[in-house]
Amino acid sequence: MLWVGGLWLLQIGLLPVLGRIDLAPLLVDEIASVLYAVTVGFAAVCVVFQVLVLVQAEGLASLWRDIRGQLLLMALYACAMYFAVRVGWPEAVRWQVFSYLVLGFSGLLLVLQAVPGWSGRVREAHP
């Protein structure tokens, strides 16, 4: 889950460090705005790829019946909401932060789920 780690690393790692190294607050806000958009865009691409993998492994019905599918749809919705608010209502920063956090927590819950198609099986080594 590369995108989940990137989301949380940005939120709890990089941005607090930028604030502590005495950069101008407006510069930190501008850097954060760009990094948030890039990270959410990358997460959206990864989520679409994961949806395709889940559909191939478990079938289309798994998107709404399986918890992994529901979490992926929630993450995709959060990405869409983030960009819709960013483009349509740019001064609503709290809605952007809310969408970002929904995406982050959906990703955390997704990391705790089993890999599609493996469901408890252990892969055997080939000689």
Q: Which amino acid is at 57?
A: A
Residue with tokens 């850097």: 31
DSSP state of 127: -
DSSP state of 88: H
* Residue 93: partners with Cβ closer than 8 Å, 6 or more residues away: none
Token pair, residue 91, equals 């001064």
* pLDDT single digits (tens) 69-81: 999 999 999 999 9
* pLDDT single digits (tens) 7-63: 999 889 998 898 888 888 888 889 988 999 999 999 999 999 999 988 998 888 888
Give this prediction's pTM.
0.82
Alpha carbons 47 and 122: distance in angstroms, whole number = 25
